[in-house]
Each structure stands twice: as structure tokens, then as C-alpha cells.
Amino acid sequence: MASVGFLGSLALLAAATVAAASEANAPREYLDEETGATVFFVSRPLVFARESAAPFNRVNPVARAWTDDHGGMPVVPRDYWSLAAAAVDRGGKYTYVLIGYSWLVGMPQPSDNICPDRDHLVLQLADRRIELAPFDGSARDAGISQPIHRPSIGNPEPAVYSIDLATLGLIAETAHVVLYCGAQKAPLKYDLWEDRLPALRELVRQLHD
């Protein structure tokens, strides 16, 4: 009987873990009082990182990399890009965007080793290449007046990219996503820093429902 109780406890623990993971990936929404739009967005953005090159390769003992971290953590110098998917509902007409931020951790100032070229971002999905198209206007013009997953470092301004639901679905279902920044022949490569694709998959699933 003891073994049955133990197995039952394991089953309850597993169910609780699955429920917690599902809640963490559940999309968020709010009614934007300034624009009148209903905004749906991912619970966690995709975060891409690239380690800095010399002479900036010095350890920053404590830094917070993005807004949904709790407390500081030791990091090595890197520059980051985050992309958060959002859907804006204005009277039943939907607009889909990616909200991007670029920021530095452990570097005293921008250098040639980082990419501030917000107008030339490419997502590589296995053998498929997606060039992100800058949105014609600000995030507020898209219907989003509130910051969505803005990093806590440096108070960066958002970059907004137009996208469609089908492409969001392709990104969400790709096992390996890489971000390239810059229009030059050798753009800088940013690897996916943390697997937050389940949050994007959940947003796409609910938008399809």
C-alpha cells in the first residue's frame, strides 16, 4: 500500500509540474485604455544572446538580463535581443507584430561588436529565412501603448516588426531558431538563449481557436 501511495504522490507532483508549466506559458492580454485595442501577447519573449568579444569580456558580477527574472544572477558580457509576439484586436481586425529590444550586459558602452541595426533582423528557421519587416510606425501606432517585456537594463526603446499568424506558427514549431542582425555580408549571429518557444506556441494556438 505504501508503494501505491508513493506512486500517487509522484503522479500528483507530475500533474502539478505540468500545470505550473502550462500557466507560465499561458498568453497574457489587456485592454489598452489609450488606444482602445485588446492586446494579446506571449507570457515570455524569445531571448537571443551573443557573447562579447575583447576588450569587453569582463564579468559583471550581478545583472538582471530581462524583466521577468527575479533577482540578479552572475553573467558574462553579452549583448541581447528579445522578440515578443503580440496580436492587436481593434474591433475584430487583428494586427500581428513582434516587439524587439536590444540591450547590453557587462559592457561599458556600445562597440563594433554589437549590432544596433534594428532595420535588418533575420530569423533563420532550419532551412527557412525570414526577414523581419519594420512596422510603419511606433508600438503605440500598432495599438500597444504599454511596454511588453521591456528589459530592466538601460530602458531601451522598442523596435516593432510586422508579421502574420502563419509565420508566427512556423517560428513556434521550429526546433532551432537563430537571429542574425545587420545587412552586411557577415551579420552578427545571436543564438536562442533560453527555450521559450512553448509560450509562443501557446499564443499561436489560442489565436487560432
Domains of the chain: 27-208 (2.60.40)
pLDDT of residue 3: 55
pTM of the model: 0.79
Q: 139 vs 33, 39, 41, 105, 142, CA distance in Å? A: 14, 11, 13, 24, 5
Residue-level pLDDT at 79:
86
Q: Closest by alpha carbon to 63, among 196, 154, 191?
A: 154
pLDDT at 121: 95
Cell numbers found for residue 74: 552572475
The 3-state DSSP class for residue 204 equals: helix
For the chain, 209 residues long, give each residue's pLDDT as a single digit of tens: 555 554 454 444 433 333 444 688 999 999 999 999 999 999 999 999 987 654 444 444 334 444 444 344 455 678 889 999 999 999 999 999 999 999 887 655 555 556 667 889 999 998 899 999 999 999 999 999 999 999 988 788 899 999 999 999 999 999 889 999 987 778 899 999 877 999 999 999 999 87
C-alpha to C-alpha distance for 84 and 44, rounded to whole angstroms = 7
